[in-house]
Chain A
Amino acid sequence: MNICVLVKYVPDTEAIVRIRSDSELEIENKYFTNFFDEIAIEEAVKLKEKFGGTVTVVTVDNRRIDALRRGIAMGADHAVQISDAALEGSDSFGIARVLAAFLKKEPWDVILCGRQAMDDDAAIVGPAVAELLDLPHVSSILGLEIAEDGRSARVARQVEGGREILLCPLPAVLTTQKGLNTPRIPQVMGMMKAMKVQVRKLDLGALGVDPAEVGERGRKVRILRYLPPPKRSKAMRIEEDFPDNVRRLVRLLREEAKAL
């Protein structure tokens, strides 16, 4: 089974993100492999353990390859970095275009990626890649069983209030959600392998992608400016003893906040 996992290195949840100007952010240098992508890597490695084959991790990033190293440390076989100066400022559609161009070059049985990246929270790349490759997709999966012949999958997808079960032929693009598995912690041997891994580098020319379709020029969605999050005023402390505090809270919620 040939599995490809799309991965991204993103600012850690704890990282401080500040607005420098309307068009510029300052991000603390604290990064990690996108949480949902680690679930995708774990699932790929489990499939390889069951069906054999190889796992390839691929990232579109001009600077950081740490997510690729994480993938190798967890058990992936190959790592591919797509980088090109023309990629700066790409939106999700531009990134999807580049990934689709790469994926088109080889046959894959399963393409996995996290349900969304924790920086832009867009959740666009997975379904967009599927559309560009004319493959079926299922997003936010919580369960995956691949048929013995490797040609179809029974998938559980997160929906409001439950999980929807569906059958999907392979190859397909599946985006992974928390609950599918628990990503393994890489062992020393894996870490060593990751340090030595040969990362295959590709640029837009190698993929046959027109630079005008990506980067700032290719953007469909424009960021006009950054704004601080809405501010909440200081909390009102309810100091009375129990149960008077509960009574006062209910009164405040009803009369002041008009929330009850």
Chain B
Amino acid sequence: MGGEVWVFVESVEGAIRKVSLELLCAADGFSKEIGGPVGAVLLGRPTDSALENLRSYADRVYLAEDERLAAYTSDGYTLALASLVRKHGPAVLLAGSTSTGRDLFPRVAVRLKTGLIPDCTGLAIGDEGRLLATRPIYGGKVFCQVSIPEASPQMATVRPNTFTLEKMNKRAEVIRDTTGLEGGEIRQKVEGVEKTTQEKVDVAEAEVVVGVGRGIRDPGNFKAVQDLADALGATIGVTRAVVDNGWWDVNDQIGKSGKNISARLYFAFGLSGAIHHVLGIQTCKTVVAVNTDTNALIFNYADYALVGDMMEVIPALKEEITKMKDEV
């Protein structure tokens, strides 16, 4: 079938979001099967270094530069992205399953009269060069394999950490293109962002996550958890119970009513393993569970099970990891 494979690229404070680069790495493989170049779409005003970095991951960078696209709005970004797609007609359009990707792509899909496979945990090219996506449904109790058989472009959002980020050495040409904002209106006005949680990467994107449940007993104990997270370069995630007790912000809640995570390494401390939580950690690679209860359900979902008190284990673990790092 042929055609370009595009990735909608997100940047945060001048830096390209990791999931966007992961998708560009995956797109490189897809493009070989489909037989077209990889295009990275960047809207707004990137820094020179961000643009330079992006060039090494794509064959073409489509850049719609405009002050009105500096902050994300669904109206502005839908106008700009839909206009670029109409003009260049890529075969595939991918984005990270992030707050922006999941907000923007449904709207763009409707405008372009195509389909969208949201929140994929696996993606490949199937017969006739069409996307073959895997995604969890019913919170991950079942997965399904889906495709968009007819419409174009084939759109999908993909969870962070689904693909491995590798260094690439392309030299994309930068195509400065129209913004599509003419004749449209941006109705939302962004006032700013209030940071509510950690400075580190978001829990949904983090490679290492330290998960904490009710076993923390007192919010004062988060200091020790933070020390461990710092030693690991990890982000803290919490269970519903911890949020409902008012001990931590909802932004870092893992599970059915919170976020799904796909960490490379997940520590589950003092959490029982309620279905609500377990559904959110299914695509994590290695899971370590620490719980005082020998029969805790979480042990059924873990790769390593340690029976013990999290408040005893956490500082010891932090010490061991620091020691290990000093040795290296």
Could you tell me which A residues sit within 8 Å of B by CB distance? 11, 13-17, 19, 25, 27, 35-36, 91-93, 96, 118-128, 130-132, 136-140, 142, 154, 156-169, 172, 177-179, 219-230, 232-233, 235-239, 242-243, 245-247, 249-250, 252-254, 257, 259-260
Given contacts A166-B189, A169-B187, contact A235 B257 (CB under 8 A): no
Given contacts A221-B148, A223-B144, A226-B143, contact A140 B103 (CB under 8 A): yes
Contact A121 B106 (CB under 8 A): no
What is the bound-complex CA distance between A36 and B143, given in angstroms? Answer: 22
Contact A235 B304 (CB under 8 A): yes
Contact B308 A245 (CB under 8 A): yes
Given contacts A232-B287, A250-B317, contact A166 B190 (CB under 8 A): yes
Contact A131 B110 (CB under 8 A): yes
What is the bound-complex CA distance between A219 and B316, given in angstroms? Answer: 54
B4 / chain A contacts, CB cutoff of 8 Å: none
The 9 A-B residue pairs with the shortest CB-CB distance, nearest first, are A220-B115, A160-B202, A127-B106, A179-B250, A235-B305, A136-B187, A131-B110, A162-B195, A124-B106
| Cβ of B156 to closest chain A Cβ, rounded Å | 10
B197 / chain A contacts, CB cutoff of 8 Å: 161-162
Contact of B258 with A by CB under 8 A = yes
| Cβ of B91 to closest chain A Cβ, rounded Å | 15
Contact B139 A13 (CB under 8 A): yes
Closest residue of A by beta carbon distance from B104: A127
A221 / chain B contacts, CB cutoff of 8 Å: 115-117, 146-148
Q: Please report whether the interface of chain A is mostly helix, strand, loop or mixed according to DSSP.
A: mixed
A25 / chain B contacts, CB cutoff of 8 Å: 142
| Cβ of A93 to closest chain B Cβ, rounded Å | 7
Contact B187 A158 (CB under 8 A): no
Contact A259 B265 (CB under 8 A): yes
Q: Can you list 29 A-B pairs with a CB-CB distance of less than 8 A?
A: A119-B138, A122-B119, A123-B118, A124-B118, A138-B74, A160-B98, A164-B192, A164-B193, A165-B193, A166-B73, A166-B188, A167-B189, A178-B258, A221-B115, A223-B146, A224-B147, A226-B143, A232-B287, A232-B301, A235-B303, A235-B304, A235-B305, A236-B305, A242-B312, A243-B316, A249-B288, A250-B321, A253-B265, A257-B304
B98 / chain A contacts, CB cutoff of 8 Å: 160
Contact B143 A11 (CB under 8 A): no
Contact A127 B107 (CB under 8 A): yes
Q: How many A-B residue pairs have CB under 8 A?
A: 260
Size range of the chain B interface in the assembly:
35 or more
Contact A118 B256 (CB under 8 A): yes
Contact A140 B99 (CB under 8 A): yes
| Cβ of B276 to closest chain A Cβ, rounded Å | 6
Contact A259 B147 (CB under 8 A): no
What is the bound-complex CA distance between A27 and B109, given in angstroms? Answer: 30
Contact B191 A166 (CB under 8 A): yes
Contact of B128 with A by CB under 8 A = no
Closest residue of B by beta carbon distance from A236: B304
Mask, B273-307, CB within 8 Å of A = 1, is 00110010011011111000000000111111111
A14 / chain B contacts, CB cutoff of 8 Å: 275
Contact of B151 with A by CB under 8 A = yes
B302 / chain A contacts, CB cutoff of 8 Å: 232, 235
Mask, B222-262, CB within 8 Å of A = 1, is 00000000001000000000010000001101001110000
Closest residue of A by beta carbon distance from B309: A242
B312 / chain A contacts, CB cutoff of 8 Å: 242
